[in-house]
A and B are shown apart, each in its own frame.
Chain A
Amino acid sequence: MKILIIEDEEELRESIHAYLKVEGDVCEQAMDYPTALEKISLYSYDCILLDLSLPGGDGMKILEEIKKMGKQDGVLIISARNSLDDRLNGLGLGADDYLVKPFHLSELKARIMAIVRRKNFGGYNVMSFQEIAIDLMGKEVKIEGQLLSLTKKEYDLLIYFIANQGKVITKNAIAEHLWGDEMDLSDDFDFIYTHIKNLRKKMIEAGSKDYIKSMYGVGYKFGMP
């Protein structure tokens, strides 16, 4: 997977890079408008992370350039501009998704994975992890060929976990992913415990290994036991 991070804030760029890099994918960085433009014209990426406020030019122009070049690269806008206008503008110009700063890296990863899957496999594709196979089109989960009946939230949760396999994901990030970031209930995320417990139980009963592990009371990790 080839990813380009266009972000002027070095610390943030490095952090995103560090989080995405591990799997051995190509993960390049651009910190300003000219560099970004150069990289885009030279290479193709599965997904481009685009910050809208860049030194030396508006991020929106880069998006226009990408479209002008007729490139098929997926574009995920990351911006502190929490404005609906930008969101509509960006999506109208052909961005695939929009993420408002500050965000969780796990959310970013999940969004990138979704874009990449859509780009590479069109509508129909299967996502798998060990004995788990997910038909993303039909929204069906099978464990060793056996159909698993999950609620909508459990299904979303599983996809989110697999996209962020091997990473510790906070309860906060999970709650925001499942219930949206406008849900202003910062007090306590223990209510997601029930969902995780149910998902885990259903998967183990269907014959899967126990991949979900609670981490330090902060969050969960999905990965090889």
Chain B
Amino acid sequence: MKLAEKYNRANLLTSLIVLAITGIIYYVAIHFILTEKMDKDLVIEEREIEAYVKNYGRLPSPGDFLHQKVAYEQLKDGQSIERDFYYSEFYNEEEKELEPGRNLSTTITVGKKNYLVTISKSRAEAEGLVRIIFLITIGVTILLLVSLLLINRLVLNRIWQPFYQTLNRMKAFNLAQKENMHSSHTKIDEFNELNTAVATMAERVKKDYKELKTFTDNASHEMMTPLAVINAKLDLLLQESPLDSKQGALIHEIYHAVNRLSRLSSSLLLLAKIENKLLTEHETLDLKQAIEEKALHFQELMQNKGIQYSQQLQPKEINMSKYLLDILLNNLFSNSIRHNYQGGRIDINLSENKLVISNTGNENGLDHQQVFERFYKNPASEGMGLGLAIVKQIVNLQKFEISYVYQNNLHIFTLFF
């Protein structure tokens, strides 16, 4: 739920409740006052009747009353009625309709006889007044609610604009981008504060990220010299004859480990370089030719594994760094060979808008969410799990797209240009 909506809801609900309560109180109070007044009128009438009886010794004729009706009823001896005000219906003879009324019943003694006197008065006027007041209240309520809604819509939306702008900038925030999070100044202090906080945070995150990257960079870099020493010493050790095959095997293992370590370092350096956009030079390259050359380059490896290779290539030109294209194809090719089994197959299909590489493989489908993540790899794999991460980085840099699916026992990588 949006903040404005939530606020609107709370606001409207509160207004409604408050207005309803006010309305009820208003109604009850006015009703009370009007009834009070009506009762006073009835009492005045009663006094007039009493005065008439005192003067003339008889009851006044019921037809003598203008706005009220009076009825008499002789009470039996000993019977007494308590004086009482009550509501009832009132028949309006002129309008010939029933109206709400207010009655006063009292007893009056004429001579030796007791009479029940009922004085009725129409409440129509009072009710009308109450209705008008009620309608006005409702009208005001609705007007208030509507204007509240409108104000919320218009004003709130406008007031929140800077917030949404900041939000969009935060969404678009990218650690690798060089430019700062610039935000325009607004008149609202809270948003200015927010903008400042966001900008500061972005700066800090960027700084931390940069430091981390520099650290990785330096660490990988610093590793290269000792690795070079180990490699060189091994090369020298190998010249010390005679070695037996057991020593040879040990040296081989060390070579292997050193090789992996130096590959790890250079892969991390390469990733950092691509990410930092240090490899931006580009030229128009013949992708078809590049793939054919790569296939030739790798043919011995495929033969060695008895892999059946087939390619269907249409001419396609591509504008990118030669060095990166080389790495991209290298990684895709070596991936499809390395994870293949003896006697498997690799098919490459290049068309105007995509490059599809499908190969048989040892593993059943990889997790296509994670396949391009750093250090994601099959536990059985000897690789470092950086090859596809590098591919992904290059693809991102080029604004291409790459997808992975596992279909009919084939691992299929599709590169969309």
In the complex, chain A residues whose CB is within 8 Å of the CB of B42: none
Q: Mark B264-276, 1 if CB is under 8 A from A, else 0.
A: 0011011001000
In the complex, chain B residues whose CB is within 8 Å of the CB of A137: none
What's the Cα separation between A15 and B300 when bound, in Å? 33
What's the Cα separation between A181 and B63 when bound, in Å? 125
In the complex, chain B residues whose CB is within 8 Å of the CB of A100: 224, 266
Q: Which of B76-84, B127-135, B323-331 is the interface stretch? A: B323-331
Set B249, B266, B330, B337: member contacting A217, Cβ < 8 A: B249
Q: Tell whether, in the assembled complex, residue B229 and residue A15 are in contact, meaning their CB atoms are under 8 Å apart.
A: yes
Set A9, A83, A186, A217: member contacting B278, Cβ < 8 A: A83
A165 at the interface (CB under 8 A from B): no
Q: Tell whether, in the assembled complex, residue B252 and residue A218 are in contact, meaning their CB atoms are under 8 Å apart.
A: yes
Q: Tell whether, in the assembled complex, residue A191 and residue B301 are in contact, meaning their CB atoms are under 8 Å apart.
A: yes
Query: Which interface residue of B235, B248, B304 has the most chain A CB atoms within 10 A?
Result: B235
Chain A residues numbered 65-94 whose CB sits less than 8 Å from any CB in chain B: 80-85
Q: Tell whether, in the assembled complex, residue B232 and residue A12 are in contact, meaning their CB atoms are under 8 Å apart.
A: yes
Query: Which interface residue of A81, A82, A179, A187 has the most chain B CB atoms within 10 A?
Result: A82
In the complex, chain A residues whose CB is within 8 Å of the CB of B248: 215-218
B380 CB to closest chain A CB (Å) equals: 11
B219 CB to closest chain A CB (Å) equals: 12
Q: Mark A11-55, 1 if CB is under 8 A from B, else 0.
A: 110011011000000000000000000000000000000000000
What's the Cα separation between A15 and B240 when bound, in Å? 13
In the complex, chain A residues whose CB is within 8 Å of the CB of B239: 19, 167-168
Chain A residues numbered 159-193 whose CB sits less than 8 Å from any CB in chain B: 167-168, 170, 172-173, 179-180, 182-187, 190-191
Q: Tell whether, in the assembled complex, residue B263 and residue A103 are in contact, meaning their CB atoms are under 8 Å apart.
A: no
B276 CB to closest chain A CB (Å) equals: 11
Q: Tell whether, in the assembled complex, residue A103 and residue B245 are in contact, meaning their CB atoms are under 8 Å apart.
A: no
Query: Which interface residue of A168, A179, A215 has the most chain B CB atoms within 10 A?
Result: A168
In the complex, chain A residues whose CB is within 8 Å of the CB of B269: 82
A153 at the interface (CB under 8 A from B): yes
Q: Which of B4-12, B117-125, B253-261 is the interface stretch? A: B253-261
In the complex, chain B residues whose CB is within 8 Å of the CB of A170: 235, 238, 252, 255
Closest-by-CB residue of A relative to B240 is: A168
A117 at the interface (CB under 8 A from B): no
A115 at the interface (CB under 8 A from B): no
In the complex, chain A residues whose CB is within 8 Å of the CB of B230: 102
Q: Tell whether, in the assembled complex, residue A15 and residue B301 are in contact, meaning their CB atoms are under 8 Å apart.
A: no
Query: Which interface residue of A185, A194, A195 has the most chain B CB atoms within 10 A?
Result: A185
A101 at the interface (CB under 8 A from B): yes
What's the Cα separation between A173 and B279 when bound, in Å? 27
B398 at the interface (CB under 8 A from A): no
In the complex, chain A residues whose CB is within 8 Å of the CB of B221: 80-81
A185 CB to closest chain B CB (Å) equals: 5
What's the Cα separation between A173 and B238 when bound, in Å? 13
A54 CB to closest chain B CB (Å) equals: 12
Closest-by-CB residue of A relative to B253 is: A218
Q: Tell whether, in the assembled complex, residue B251 and residue A216 are in contact, meaning their CB atoms are under 8 Å apart.
A: yes
Chain A residues numbered 94-131 whose CB sits less than 8 Å from any CB in chain B: 100-106
What's the Cα separation between A85 and B321 when bound, in Å? 13
A140 CB to closest chain B CB (Å) equals: 22
B262 at the interface (CB under 8 A from A): yes
Which size bracket describes the interface of B in this complex?
A: 35 or more
Set B235, B255, B273: member contacting A83, Cβ < 8 A: B273
In the complex, chain B residues whose CB is within 8 Å of the CB of A190: 304
Q: Tell whether, in the assembled complex, residue A82 and residue B229 are in contact, meaning their CB atoms are under 8 Å apart.
A: no
A132 CB to closest chain B CB (Å) equals: 22
What's the Cα separation between A14 and B268 when bound, in Å? 29
Give the number of residues in A that approach B within 8 Å (Cβ atoms): 43
A137 CB to closest chain B CB (Å) equals: 24
In the complex, chain A residues whose CB is within 8 Å of the CB of B326: 182
Q: Tell whether, in the assembled complex, residue B256 and residue A11 are in contact, meaning their CB atoms are under 8 Å apart.
A: no
Q: Tell whether, in the assembled complex, residue B330 and residue A183 are in contact, meaning their CB atoms are under 8 Å apart.
A: yes
What's the Cα separation between A194 and B278 when bound, in Å? 39
In the complex, chain B residues whose CB is within 8 Å of the CB of A216: 243-245, 247-249, 251-252
B243 CB to closest chain A CB (Å) equals: 5
A64 CB to closest chain B CB (Å) equals: 23
B334 at the interface (CB under 8 A from A): yes
Closest-by-CB residue of B relative to A173 is: B235
In the complex, chain B residues whose CB is within 8 Å of the CB of A85: 278
Q: Tell whether, in the assembled complex, residue A9 and residue B331 are in contact, meaning their CB atoms are under 8 Å apart.
A: no
What's the Cα separation between A134 and B284 when bound, in Å? 37
Q: Tell whether, in the assembled complex, residue B338 and residue A105 are in contact, meaning their CB atoms are under 8 Å apart.
A: no
In the complex, chain B residues whose CB is within 8 Å of the CB of A187: 338, 382
Q: Mark A132-149, 1 if CB is under 8 A from B, else 0.
A: 000000000000000000
In the complex, chain A residues whose CB is within 8 Å of the CB of B188: none
In the complex, chain B residues whose CB is within 8 Å of the CB of A103: 228, 231
What's the Cα separation between A19 and B236 when bound, in Å? 7
What's the Cα separation between A9 and B177 when bound, in Å? 37
Closest-by-CB residue of B relative to A11 is: B229
Beyond A102-B230, A172-B255, A216-B245, whether A15 also contacts B278 by CB under 8 A is no
Query: Which interface residue of B232, B236, B260, B387 has the most chain A CB atoms within 10 A?
Result: B232
A217 CB to closest chain B CB (Å) equals: 5
In the complex, chain B residues whose CB is within 8 Å of the CB of A191: 300-301, 304
Closest-by-CB residue of A relative to B273 is: A83
Query: Chain A: residues with CB nearer than 8 A to chain B?
Result: 9, 11-12, 15-16, 18-19, 80-85, 100-106, 153, 167-168, 170, 172-173, 179-180, 182-187, 190-191, 194-195, 215-219
17 interchain pairs, CB-CB under 8 A: A9-B228, A11-B232, A11-B233, A12-B232, A15-B233, A19-B232, A80-B224, A80-B225, A84-B278, A168-B238, A173-B235, A185-B301, A186-B259, A191-B304, A194-B304, A216-B249, A217-B245
Across the A-B interface, give the 9 residue pairs with the lowest CB-CB distance, nearest first: A216-B248, A15-B232, A80-B224, A102-B228, A191-B304, A101-B228, A105-B235, A102-B227, A102-B231
